């Protein structure tokens, strides 16, 4: 299990990744007065800590079993959309860096966030936590970082894609390169972590609804084969008053969003 300290609306929050037992969660919860977020735990763990949970959501992701032979893994990649693009990258002069040019990688991620607006830009404090728990992989083309992946690693169990970004695809200079280089970087990471003895490569979440605007990202990840698994994300507090207030805030936010969506439609 991995732990991080994050901040949500100025409030410190403890993040716990991939706990294997309720005892692991409770050991942290008993010594943390604020909110605890648990990412990707089993149904059994979620059930056992449910008395302290004020929100639980289902999290789908696709994972590759790195205990398999590399040829077996490669054979599950979609031939047209995945293997072709990776083979295409052989003709593109590029290099792959590991844990280098962090500033360029962070800048690329924040530029992507600025275009897509799916979250707040990465703060200086987050950068420190990311450096403590993650490895960064980047593809460099003509001395420019075009693709970057931040991978959260829980040795020897799981390597999990945490953040990724590419150069703006609207830039005609790089448009024809990005897809191939992005897939190549995933393939490089798969081989890298298999060699390190890690058991699983996790693509960091997918949506399973074909009508979702994010489904194209899921299709990209699913083109690598792998298995879809369902896990749980939890919000917890050991204080009943905190759970009550947070649960009410979640319900109110959900109601407001439904009213807004209904009004727009």
Are 92 and 195 in a shared domain? yes
In what helix (H) or strand (E) does residue 255 lie, and over which residues does it extend?
helix 240-264
Q: Is pLDDT at 108 greater than 70 in this prediction?
A: yes
Q: How does pLDDT run across 36-66, given as a tens digit for each residue?
A: 999 999 999 999 999 999 999 999 999 999 9
151 lies in the same domain as 195: yes
pLDDT band, residue 257 (cuts 50/70/90) = low
CATH number at residue 170: 3.40.630.30
User: Which tokens go with 130?
Assistant: 């990311």
* 214 and 162 in a common domain: yes
**Domains of the chain: total:** 2
**DSSP conformation class of 51:** G
Grade residue 235 by pLDDT with cuts at 50, 70 and 90: very high
pTM over 0.85: yes
User: Is it the case that residue 7 has pLDDT exceeding 90?
Assistant: no
pLDDT in tens, 183-225: 999 999 999 999 999 999 999 999 999 999 999 999 999 999 9
Lowest mean pLDDT among 26-35, 124-133, 219-228: 124-133
Containing structural domain, residue 67: 62-228
> Are residues 203 and 87 both part of a single domain?
yes
User: 69 with 189, same domain?
Assistant: yes
pLDDT for 202: 98
Q: How confident is the model at residue 124 (pLDDT cuts 50, 70, 90)?
A: confident
202 near 158, Cβ under 8 Å? Answer: yes
Beta carbons of 105 and 139 less than 8 angstroms apart: no
Q: What DSSP state is assigned to residue 225?
A: -
- Both 138 and 155 in a single domain? yes
> Do 168 and 51 reside in the same domain of the chain?
no
The pLDDT of residue 77 is 98
Closest C-alpha among 45, 254, 6, 2 to residue 124: 6
3-state secondary structure of 221: helix
pLDDT, residue 160, reads 98
| Nearest by Cα to 55 from 235, 233, 243 | 235
* Nearest in space to 223 (alpha carbons), one of 109, 38, 81: 81
Sheet of strand 158-166: strand arrangement: 2-8, 11-17, 35-41, 227-236, 53-65, 200-202, 158-166, 144-154, 134-141, 95-98
Q: Which residues of 162-188 are buried (b: 16+ CB within 10 A; e: fewer)?
A: bbbbbbeeeeeebeebbbbbbbbbbbb
Structural contact between residues 25 and 49, judged by C-beta atoms closer than 8 angstroms:
yes
Half-sphere exposure for 206 (CA within 13 Å, toward CB): 24
For the segment 30-34, the average pLDDT, to the nearest whole number, is 93
- Kindly state whether residues 251 and 224 are assigned to the same domain: no
Across residues 85-112, what is the average pLDDT? 96
The Cα 59–Cα 205 span in angstroms is 7
Q: Which two tokens stand for residue 57?
A: 């959501």
Task: Judge if 134 and 251 occupy the same domain.
Answer: no
Tell me, yes or no, whether 50 and 81 share the same domain.
Answer: no
| Contact between residue 147 and residue 178 where contact means Cβ atoms under 8 Å apart | yes
Is 41 in contact with 19 (CB distance < 8 Å)? Answer: yes
3-state SS string for 90-148: HHCCCEEEECCCHHHHHHHHHHHHHHHCCCCCCCHHHHHHHHHHEEEEEEEECCEEEEE
């Amino acid at each position: 299990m991995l732990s991080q300290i994050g901040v949500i609306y100025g409030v410190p929050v403890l993040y716990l990744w991939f706990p294997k037992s309720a005892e692991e969660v409770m050991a942290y919860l008993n010594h943390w007065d604020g909110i605890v977020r648990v990412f990707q735990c089993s149904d059994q763990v979620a059930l056992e800590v449910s008395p302290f949970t004020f929100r639980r959501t289902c999290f789908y992701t696709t994972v590759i079993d790195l205990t398999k032979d590399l040829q077996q893994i490669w054979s599950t990649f979609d031939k047209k959309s995945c293997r072709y693009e990776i083979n295409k990258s052989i003709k593109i002069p590029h290099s792959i860096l590991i844990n280098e040019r962090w500033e360029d990688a962070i800048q690329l991620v924040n530029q992507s966030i600025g275009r897509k607006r799916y979250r707040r830009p990465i703060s200086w404090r987050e950068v420190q936590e990311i450096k403590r728990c993650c490895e960064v992989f980047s593809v460099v083309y003509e001395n420019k970082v075009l693709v970057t992946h931040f991978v959260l690693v829980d040795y020897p169990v799981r390597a999990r894609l945490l953040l990724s970004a590419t150069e703006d695809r609207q830039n005609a200079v790089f448009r024809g390169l990005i897809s191939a280089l992005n897939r190549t970087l995933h393939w490089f990471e798969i081989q890298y972590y298999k060699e390190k003895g890690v058991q699983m490569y996790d693509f960091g979440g997918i949506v399973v609804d074909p009508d979702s605007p994010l489904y194209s990202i899921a299709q990209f990840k699913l083109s690598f084969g792998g298995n879809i698994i369902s896990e749980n994300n939890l919000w917890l507090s050991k204080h009943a008053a905190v759970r009550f207030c947070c649960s009410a805030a979640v319900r109110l936010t959900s109601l407001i969003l439904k009213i807004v969506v209904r009004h727009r439609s």
